[in-house]
Amino acid sequence: MSAEDRVNATMKNVEGKAQEALGNVTGDPKDKAQGKMKQAEAETQHAKEDIKDNLKEALD
C-alpha cells in the first residue's frame, strides 16, 4: 500500500473528527453528518488498503 494513501485516509479521518466536533459545539447537524461521513470514507479507504496489503503479502 502506498504510504500516501494511508496519510490521505488518516487526514480525512482527522478532518471528519474536527468537523463532527464543530457540529457538536455549534449544534449544526449538517456538520456532524458530514464529519461522520468523512470518517466512514477514511475507514473504508484504510480497509481497502489493508486488503491490498494482505493480498500482496499472500502473493509474495
Number of domains in the chain: 1
Q: How many residues does the chain have?
A: 60
Residue 51: inside a domain: no
Residue 54: inside a domain: no
Residue 49: inside a domain: no
> Could you tell me the residue range of the domain that residue 18 belongs to?
3-44
The set of cell numbers assigned to 44 is 473504508
Task: Using the structure block, give the residue that is written with the C-alpha cell 461521513.
Answer: 37
CB 32 within 8 A of CB 25: no
Residue 21: inside a domain: yes
Residue 15: inside a domain: yes
pTM of the model: 0.85
Residue 58: inside a domain: no
The set of cell numbers assigned to 60 is 509474495
Contacts of 2 (CB under 8 A, 6+ apart): 49
CA geometry: angle at 20 spanning 52 and 24, to 5°?
A: 160
Residue 60: inside a domain: no
- pLDDT (tens digit, 9 = 90+) per residue, 1-59? 488 999 999 999 999 999 999 999 999 999 999 999 999 999 999 999 999 999 999 99
Q: For residue 40, what pLDDT is reported?
A: 98
Q: For residue 44, what pLDDT is reported?
A: 96
